[in-house]
Structure 1
Amino acid sequence: LGHTRLLTEGGPRLLGQMVAADVLDELCVTLAPVLTAGSARRITGGPEIADPRRFALVSLLEEDGFLFGRYRRS
């Protein structure tokens, strides 16, 4: 369709598919100051990739203990 940018939100499976397809250029992550236990897995889910993708921190904001990080592909 000619789009040059796509903003998506989803769970670990969607993010894992994007990583595996090598189409993820930027990642925004929020870290909440809350600790809990459970059976949660990694931030991505899906097939393993042989070459880990490297990202660099672009910005980090804090408000009320929450951290909002923005990372761009290195």
Structure 2
Amino acid sequence: ALAERGLRRQLIEGGPRLLGQFVAAEALDELCLTVSPTMTAGGAQRIAGGPSVAVPTRFQVASVLEQDGFLFTRYRRI
């Protein structure tokens, strides 16, 4: 419905389930990921949770910025 209105770009923010839904639908074109200089451990899940995909989608680095040890990365689907 959004594409029919000429709105072809969307920015979504959410957790692993929402990201997993976009991955499963092959609707993820770009991923912005922040890496913190903090180490922890535990039972955390993957970055994207949801149904498995038959063939993993490949991404390439589009940009990397660093500030105070944080890495701000942007990846684009190949």
TM range (shorter): over 0.9
Alignment partner for residue 25 of structure 2, among 18, 21, 25? 21
Which letter maps to 1:37?
A: A
1:38, CA displacement in angstroms? 1.4
Which letter maps to 1:51?
A: V
Aligned partner of residue 15 in structure 1, secondary structure: helix
Identity of aligned pairs, percent?
64
Aligned partner of residue 32 in structure 2, secondary structure: strand
Q: Which runs of 4+ in 1 moved over 2 A?
A: none
Is residue 36 of structure 1 aligned with residue 44 of structure 2?
no
Gap regions ≥5 residues in structure 2? none
State the TM-score, normalizing by the size of structure 2: 0.92
Specify the alignment match of 1:55 in structure 2.
59
- The whole-number CA distance in structure 2 between the counterparts of 1:41 and 1:53 is 19
How many residues align structurally?
A: 74
State the TM-score, normalizing by the size of structure 1: 0.97
- The whole-number CA distance in structure 2 between the counterparts of 1:65 and 1:56 is 22
